[in-house]
Each structure stands twice: as structure tokens, then as C-alpha cells.
Structure 1
């Protein structure tokens, strides 16, 4: 049961990563009140009655009093000082549609979304600043490497907490730290957000190659080229003295490219084995952020005239009816 205090946190979303976030916040020992927005009223009732999410990470116990889990988005915003956005990027616009800039005023907004907003070609921080006038200084970004499934089983994991306001980064980090979660602080909100978007595309590429039968040797070359593409891209958009080998960049790429829990790698493997995009989406019943990110990133690549062979290959396969084996063979000639 949550304890009431002046620190109120609202978590927006009910997928696996949102459920893992609820677990982290609940296991953290700081006094606080957690409000959880869940889209489906049937899921709200299930959580209230049975104390677990019926659809994702159902083994995680969530001992909420009835009034603290709700499908009323405005209520959660009104009662929370800190808002954690944890929906798929593809659904963010529709989820936030009932809100106005006044609902965000004065709040610290935490993006735990590793995706880009379709149709806007913006990472979440930029979208919030543009549409809801949230100052970038009020935004905190949660980076990886961290899979929800390992959080649920309390395996030691690391989160990178980034903000231009060090006090906000420290406050959010202190709320997420548990005996199985360690945090690293950063100020690079733009680089970490874009790296989180790009690594999903590269994990898709790795999955496609796995589905086609390429081995570990090729995958290693693919991933080493991928981290260079990330470095090239973020430097082009936001030059900074960042270390691309930091856990938030290289670490997040590695876990997404190789892990059994990576839905992007799984999605890519299905494409490599001959599934259509639509059939892969139906069978997975989960959002692979890299699919939507591919089209958005391709627009940015074209706008800035960037040369990113892996990203462009994935786009050709997913959106231009490119044949996976042919496109990967052409890519293989460009890798170093």
C-alpha cells in the first residue's frame, strides 16, 4: 500500500515497461504516493481486485488502493508533481490528446519512452516542448540498458537518468533506485533520446540478419557499425562531448541487439524469416518501436543528407518492399 506525502508520482501507461516502472517506484523506500493511469477500464478493475497487471508482467504484485489506479488521465496529472510517460511512442499523441499545456505546467515530466513520435519526427522531449510548452529544463529522460522482464525478476540493472537540470535528474534517480536498480546521471537528454530510438532500428537489423541465417561473426560487425552510426547521427543533430561507449549508448544498443527479451530483434527475425510487417505485428501483439522509428529517422536522414547504411537498409525492407536477403547482401558490402 502506498504512503501519502507531498511527493506524488503519476505513471502513464500499462505495458511491460510501465509495469516494471511501477515495481521500481513501489520497491523504492522513499515516502511518496504513486498514481497509475491504465487505459482500459477492465484492466483497472482487474488490478484493483487481483493486484497485478493482467496483460503484462503479471507476476509483478501491485498493491494499490483503488483510488490510485485509474483510467482518468486528467486526475493523474492533476494529483502528481512528477509525471512518468511510459506508453509506446506511436500512441503518445492520442494518449495526451485530452490535455493542454496547463496540465503540464510546473511539473517534472519524465520520458521513459524509447521511441519517436510518428508524423512529427520528434523525440518525446522535443514533442512536449513544441506541443505542450514544457521547458526542456523540466524534462527528464530515462535511458537503458534495462529490460522490463529482468526488472520484474529483480536482476541487477542500470538506468541512465538524464536532464539539463541536475536536481531533477538526481530526484528521479533517487526515486528509482532499489537493491536491484542502480542509476547513472547525465545531462545529454537529446543524445540519449535519439540513441534509444536508433538502437531499436539496429536491433531490427540484427533480427532480420538472424532470421536470414547470418551468424555471430556478421552480427558483431553489424553492431560495431551501428554504434558508429549512432555517434555520427547524434553528433550531426546535437554536437556534444559525449562518450558513445557509455552504457546509455553502447550498452543499450548491445542489450537490444542481442537479448532474448528484445521485441525489436524478435520483430526483425520474423521479417527475416519471411513474415510480412502486418503478420509480424499481429503475432507479436506488442509494439516494436523500431518499425515506426525507421520511417521517422529516414525523414531526418534525408533532411540532413546523412549517410547511414544500416538505417537506410531497414527502411528499404520495411517500407519499400525491399527483399531482406538482397538488401542485407548489399549492406554487407558497405560494412567495415
Structure 2
């Protein structure tokens, strides 16, 4: 009897979905990408390139694409989700009937659902009825362009079931990508969502012409607010010092490849929200998640001044100068 080859269905064919598809194929996993448009799926199958994202990088020939969710999920050991957090609930409701009884769902999403305040893993279990021990999260300092180029990187794979986390780890472990495992899903997801908001703040500061001292302050104090919220929600504080916390925060706040930092930079240079959205073009999760994270902070009585100011800026309640002043004029206190 031939050995079973591990199969993954990756939804969608965006930049991060494409990067993880290539990564898993390089690890020896059989991958089917789900694309919304037939033109994208047809081009991937015919030319082994994604015409909208990374058109100059060849994808593994064993990687295929389809617009049919049932075909993508047939026999899949893993369903890998890489779609905007605010679109997850409606999309997953349509796909859920095709998910196999033993399929492990892997979330790549770094956002909080507006209204409910739920993390992606919680939305997945609520919509599909799949138990939490079959839902994993992959998070870390992973810029899609660098992953596509085979540059060295690492990430955390979190799942309540350690065996499931190990299975995902094996399915994406390559010479250039080193995945670690964890059971702290809450910490990993909050680290991934919060780093986008802090990256907006760092981008705004950079766009305003503020220096590296200011940007380092925002990163460090942003990590403090992230850790406070995560601990209040039951996460282990050490998780936020790891790849899914500090690692992801550094990459997203410091790289020009980061869409959240780039969006913030546009705002800091005086663009309106509409202009920044048009210039960035891709989904900027921090813009939506700031409000949801601030609501969670209120529920758990956690002080999050940077998130509060970013949310006020996004809703045009502050000018840039008022935001900077509000942050710096807060009462002094000990660092804990």
C-alpha cells in the first residue's frame, strides 16, 4: 500500500495564501489553492504563476488551483484559511459542508471580528461546529515577499491538541522555514491582531517625520498593551515575547513590505483614509481590528492608550498633532 501524501486546501490565492501554498508544496505537501476568479486559477494551472501576486516567481508544478471549494477540500488533511477576518464568517458558512470529518483547520488570519470581538479560531468553531482541538493558528514574522523568495523565517503553530500542531508543523517545515509549536492559541491570535494596530501607529509616526526613538517607544509600549490584554484573556505572557508576539511585531512595524505600516505612513503624510486605502490596495487588517480590540480592552478593563489613539485617528476624531500630544501628555507612571 502506498504511503498517504499529506494534502492541504489553501483558501485563498492572495499574497499570503500564495506564499503559504508555495511553502507547503516545498515541504512536500500536496496543495490545492482555492481562487475566487477562474482567470487566476486557470493561469496558476497553466503557467505556475499567480498573475496578480508574485507574477515573476514560479510556483511548484505540483501545486494546482480551482474555483470549486468542494474539489479543493476533497481528501484534504488541512484547510488553510487566508482571507480577510471580516469576511470569514460568511465565507466559511458556504465552505463548511465540504470540510472533511478529520480535516484540521489552520488559520492564517490576524484580525478580530467586529461586533462579536471573536478571534478567527472562535469564529471557525462557532460557524463549523469543529472542535477547538482541530483548529490551529500559524503566526509569526512572515512577510509574504520574503517567504516567496525562500528567505529564512520562522513561525509559531498553536493548537490545543499538540499532535495536531505537530502535524501542521511537519506539513510546512522546509530548509528555509522553521515552525515551532504551542498550545496558546489566544496569545498567538492576539499577538497577530495587535501588531497590525501598533504597526499603523509606527507608520503614522514615520510619515510625520518622527525618528527611531519614537518608533521604538511605540513598538515597546505596544508590546506592553498587547501583553496586558492577552494575559487578561487567559494567554501566557511568554507567548507575546515569542515569534507570534514580539517577532511579528518587529517585522510588521519595521518593514516597508508591511501593508499596515505602509497604510499608517500614508496617513502620517497627510492622506485621507480613502486615499490611504487606494494607495495600499491590499487588505489592512489593523484598520478594522483597532475598534474590535479596543472593545475587548473595555470588556477586560485593560488600558490600551496606543490602540485608543489609533482608533480615534482612523475615525478622524483626532488630528495627527492632537494624537501625538494626547499620547505624550498622559500622566507619568512606573514601567512594569
- Tell me the TM-score range normalised by the shorter chain: over 0.9
Match of 1:44 in 2: 41
Q: 1:243 to 1:141 in 2, by over 3 A?
A: closer
CA–CA distance in structure 2, aligned partners of residues 134 and 165 of structure 1: 13
Task: Please state whether the residue corresponding to 1:97 is helix, strand or coil.
Answer: helix
Deviation at 1:292, TM superposition (A): 0.8
Match of 2:55 in 1: 58
CA–CA distance in structure 2, aligned partners of residues 301 and 101 of structure 1: 35
Equivalent residues of 2:231, 2:237 under 8 A apart: no
Equivalent residues of 1:101, 1:133 under 8 A apart: no
Residue 273 of structure 2: which of 248, 273, 277 is its match? 277
The reply on whether 1:17 has 2:22 as its aligned counterpart is no
Match of 1:181 in 2: 177
Deviation at 1:247, TM superposition (A): 2.2
CA–CA distance in structure 2, aligned partners of residues 258 and 71 of structure 1: 36
CA–CA distance in structure 2, aligned partners of residues 183 and 226 of structure 1: 25
Equivalent residues of 2:25, 2:62 under 8 A apart: no
Deviation at 1:134, TM superposition (A): 1.6
Match of 1:226 in 2: 222
CA–CA distance in structure 1, aligned partners of residues 307 and 87 of structure 2: 23
Equivalent residues of 1:104, 1:132 under 8 A apart: no
Where does structure 2 lack aligned partners over 5 or more consecutive residues? Answer: none
CA–CA distance in structure 1, aligned partners of residues 57 and 3 of structure 2: 22
Task: Please state whether the residue corresponding to 2:32 is helix, strand or coil.
Answer: strand
For residues 120-159 of structure 1, the aligned pairs below 5 Å read 120-159=116-155
The reply on whether 1:109 has 2:108 as its aligned counterpart is no
Equivalent residues of 2:140, 2:248 under 8 A apart: yes
CA–CA distance in structure 1, aligned partners of residues 244 and 94 of structure 2: 32
For residues 178-217 of structure 1, the aligned pairs below 5 Å read 178-217=174-213
Comparing 7-16 with 112-121, greater Cα deviation is found at 112-121
CA–CA distance in structure 2, aligned partners of residues 48 and 182 of structure 1: 28
Comparing 92-101 with 149-158, greater Cα deviation is found at 92-101
Match of 1:302 in 2: 298
Deviation at 1:298, TM superposition (A): 1.8
CA–CA distance in structure 2, aligned partners of residues 195 and 75 of structure 1: 33
Deviation at 1:232, TM superposition (A): 0.2
Deviation at 1:122, TM superposition (A): 1.1
Deviation at 1:133, TM superposition (A): 1.3
- Structure 1 segments of 4+ aligned residues over 6 angstroms from their partners: none
Q: 1:255 to 1:109 in 2, by over 3 A?
A: same
Task: Please state whether the residue corresponding to 1:154 is helix, strand or coil.
Answer: coil
CA–CA distance in structure 2, aligned partners of residues 65 and 8 of structure 1: 11
Equivalent residues of 2:137, 2:159 under 8 A apart: yes
CA–CA distance in structure 2, aligned partners of residues 37 and 247 of structure 1: 28
TM-score using structure 1 length: 0.93
CA–CA distance in structure 2, aligned partners of residues 141 and 250 of structure 1: 16
Deviation at 1:189, TM superposition (A): 0.7
Q: Deviations over 1:48-107 (max 9, x none)?
A: 2221001112233124469x4101112222331211111121322332231346736331
Match of 2:25 in 1: 26
TM-score using structure 2 length: 0.93
Deviation at 1:243, TM superposition (A): 4.5
Comparing 309-318 with 157-166, greater Cα deviation is found at 157-166
Match of 2:241 in 1: 245
Deviation at 1:241, TM superposition (A): 5.7
Deviation at 1:153, TM superposition (A): 1.4
Q: Deviations over 1:227-257 (max 9, x none)?
A: 1111100011114363432222111111111
